[in-house]
Amino acid sequence: MGFVFTITAASSCLTVLRGVRRETAGAAKTPLETFMDRHGTTLLGGQLAVLAVATVGAVALDEYRGRNNKP
């Protein structure tokens, strides 16, 4: 999931940078850029929420297993 988030974040950044630069601002948008313009923020927010839940779950599971496996 972290890899997918990284690719999505990089794609979103590149789309924004391409729109800001004068030499590429007037160029036709690719389908990926159009998708990221419309859904990029929602997609990144959703992925970030999933990563946060997975991180908290992993820490909680590690804590639980650590308490139950004491000799």
pLDDT tens, position by position, 24-40? 777 888 898 889 989 99
Q: What pLDDT, on the 0 to 100 scale, is given for residue 53?
A: 96
pLDDT for res 54: 94
- 49-60: average pLDDT: 95
Residue 25: its H or E element: helix 22-25
Instruction: Give the domain ranges of the chain.
Output: 2-68
Full-model pTM: 0.74
Based on C-alpha coordinates, what's the Rg of the chain? 19
What pLDDT does 22 receive?
A: 79
- State residue 10's pLDDT score: 93
Region of residue 28 (left: phi > 0; alpha: psi -120 to 50; beta: else): beta
